[in-house]
Amino acid sequence: MIFIDSHCHIDGEAFDADRDEVVERARSAGVKAMLNIGTGNPHGDDFKKAVAVADKYEEVFASVGVHPHDAKLYDDKAENHLIELVKSSEKVIAWGEIGLDFYYDHSPRDVQIEVFRRQIRTARELNLPIIIHSRDANDETVEILRQECSDRDFRGGIMHCFGGTPEMARDVLEIGFLISFAGNVTFKKADNLRESAQVVPLEKLLIETDCPFLTPVPFRGKRNEPSFVVHTAKFLAEFYGIELEKLANHTKDNFVNFFELKID
């Protein structure tokens, strides 16, 4: 059985001591592709490291883009740096995570909105899919995506670590997004997430760890890692009332077809 971790952060410090082992454990668990999302300061080496990790391991791909937390750091120089990185490696297959985070508000909201729109346009010029992070900003996110992505040429994107309402899920599916659930869908109190999972067709579903955070049950409290995506898969298979293999196949095919990859 093949699993895909559609959103992880294994380039981070949390994995500096044992990254080889973490990737090896993922391989042994059947995780044949991991999309490592670069984050951090676009004026330092954070994104370079994200791409280097993808270049090092066959199963690891990379995405670059400035997180809404760091939107205040985005400028021409940051953008040029990221574009250079996209061009530097075939393993960079997406732009993100970009979006809005009105829960933490680490960057002013008007700056988040402006930088979100700007990065969507840049990604589209590069013909890259976008990875969206949205927290406590459902309406604003959907409005921007409708305005920026509703045309027929839109390459598509992924709503990562989905935390919105079923209505938001329907809206973004309609615009052309895949929806990815993280380990928090397994949490006891996450009925609202499962309500949204209910409206996502298997043909549009992805799974992710968002590691090192959001460790799924039964490892909640430990550092998360890509091999644990299997537990989220098992949980969702049971939730949908289908065989694990069926869920694994759908989430793999959705990812592979979306990014036009060859994985076996």
Q: State the Cα–Cα distance between residues 54 and 50, nearest whole angstrom.
A: 7
Shortest reach from residue 83's CB to Zn ion, in Å: 21
- Proportion of the chain in helix, strand, coil states, percent, rounded to 5: 50, 20, 35
Identify residues 82-121 at the interface with Zn ion (CB under 5 A). Answer: 97
Q: Which residue is nearest to Zn ion (CB)?
A: 133
The one segment of 33-41, 72-80, 191-199, 236-244 that binds Zn ion by CB under 5 A: 33-41
Q: Which is nearer to Zn ion, 37 or 178 (CB)?
A: 37
Residue 105, phi then psi, degrees to nearest 5: 50, 45
- What distance lies between CA 248 and its chain's CA centroid? 17
Shortest reach from residue 180's CB to Zn ion, in Å: 10
Shortest reach from residue 158's CB to Zn ion, in Å: 11
The one segment of 28-36, 168-176, 208-216, 236-244 that binds Zn ion by CB under 5 A: 208-216
Dihedral angle sign, alpha carbons of residues 113, 119, 122, 124: negative
Q: State the Cα–Cα distance between residues 252 and 3, nearest whole angstrom.
A: 6
Give the β-pairing of 157-159 and 31-37: unpaired
The one segment of 132-140, 149-157, 219-227, 228-236 that binds Zn ion by CB under 5 A: 132-140
Shortest reach from residue 153's CB to Zn ion, in Å: 26
Shortest reach from residue 37's CB to Zn ion, in Å: 5
Dihedral angle sign, alpha carbons of residues 189, 215, 131, 206: negative
Selected binder of Zn ion within 133, 204, 231, 250 (CB under 5 A): 133
Q: Does 36 bind Zn ion (CB under 5 A)?
A: no
The residue among 173, 179, 176, 170 whose CA lies nearest residue 7 is 179
Size of the site for Zn ion (CB under 5 A): 4
Q: State the Cα–Cα distance between residues 85 and 33, nearest whole angstrom.
A: 20
Q: Which amino acid is at 191?
A: D
Shortest reach from residue 169's CB to Zn ion, in Å: 16
Q: Which is nearer to Zn ion, 138 or 237 (CB)?
A: 138
Q: Which is nearer to Zn ion, 65 or 235 (CB)?
A: 65
Element (H, E) at 256: helix 244-259
Residues that bind Zn ion (CB under 5 A): 37, 97, 133, 210
